[in-house]
Amino acid sequence: MDLLQAPPRGLFRESHGASATRMDMASAAGMGHDQMKFELPGVQHPAEFVSQNFSPGTYEDNGKRLKFSKGTTTLAFIFKGGVIVSVDSRASQGSYIGSQTVKKVIEINPYLLGTMAGGAADCLFWERNLGMQCRMFELRNKERISVAAASKLLANTMNYYKGMGLSMGTMITGWDKRGPQLFYVDNDGTRLKADGDKPFFCVGSGGTYAYGVLDSSYSFDLSDEEAIELGKRAIYHATYRDAYSGGVNNVYLVKETGWTHVFSGDTYHHHDKYSAEREAAANP
C-alpha cells in the first residue's frame, strides 16, 4: 500500500504545490527505500485475510488461528492547571512481555500530545502522520492548529480506514486558544471530548482500575503537584492489578506554554509507598 499515492485525508485538501513538495520530501528521505510504504501480506484482500485468521485475545475464539492479546493503561485528565497525561510502558504479546520501555506518549508538537493503546504500529504510524498534517496546517495558515481540529483530522483518517483491521485507541490533548483540551479517538473514527464534571479518559486493559482511582480522587481544583501524584497513583493501581500493564510510568503536564515531561519511574518502586498508604487508611 503506497500511502503517498492515496487521495488526501482529513479536513484539508492538498494543493498541487503541496503535493509536489510531499513527493519530493518522500523521494529524498527514501534513499532507495520508500519509508512511507509498508508491506502487506501476499494475499488479494489483506483486511479480509486478517479478519478471517486473527482474533483479539479478549474475544471468543471463533476458530481463529491466532489471537492477539494486548494491553496497556493510559489516562489523561483536565484540571485547573492544565492536563495530566500518565501512561505505563509495557508491550505484551499474549502472556509474553515484549518490552517494558515502550514510549506510549507521542509528542506531536510542543503543544500537542497523543497516547498509544491498541496496536503499537498503528498508533505510532498514524500519530506521526497526524504530526505531519499539523505541521502542514501551521505552514499554510501561519497559526497553530487547535486540539479539536487535530483530533478531527485523526478521526477522519480512522473513519476512512474503518473496517480494515486497524487497532487504535488514543487520546489527543494539548492547549490552544480555548485552553486545555482533551479528545479520545479510536480506530472506528469515534471522537469524544472530555468535559463536564469528570473530564478524563482511561484507555486500555487497565483502564477500569484507573477509572476507579480517578472517580474517587479526582477534583478539578487539584494543584499541579496533587494532579501529578494522582496520575502516578492511578497508573500504579492499574499495573498492580492488570497483568498486561507495567514497566515505567511516564507523566506529562500540559500547560499554556506547552507540555513538560515531569516524571518517569518504574511502577515497581511505587509499591511500598502506596501499599503503606492503603494499610494506613484501612487501620486508622
Alpha carbon distance, N-terminus to C-terminus of the chain: 62
**Grid coordinates representing 233?**
497513583
Q: How far apart are CA 142 and CA 133, in angstroms?
A: 14
Q: Say if residues 161 and 188 touch (Cβ distance below 8 Å).
A: no
Q: b or e along 64-88 (b: 16 or more beta carbons within 10 Å of the residue's beta carbon)? A: beeebbbbbbbbbbbbebbbbbbbb
Cα dihedral value 133, 139, 144, 148, nearest 10: -30
Q: Say if residues 238 and 73 touch (Cβ distance below 8 Å).
A: yes
Catalytic residue among 58, 72, 74, 190: 72
Whether 72 is catalytic is yes
Q: Which residues, including other chains, have CB under 8 Å from residue 2's CB and lie 6 or more apart?
A: 34, 36, 37
Q: How far apart are CA 84 and CA 192, in angstroms?
A: 17
Residue 37 DSSP one-character state? B
The residues annotated as belonging to the active site are 72
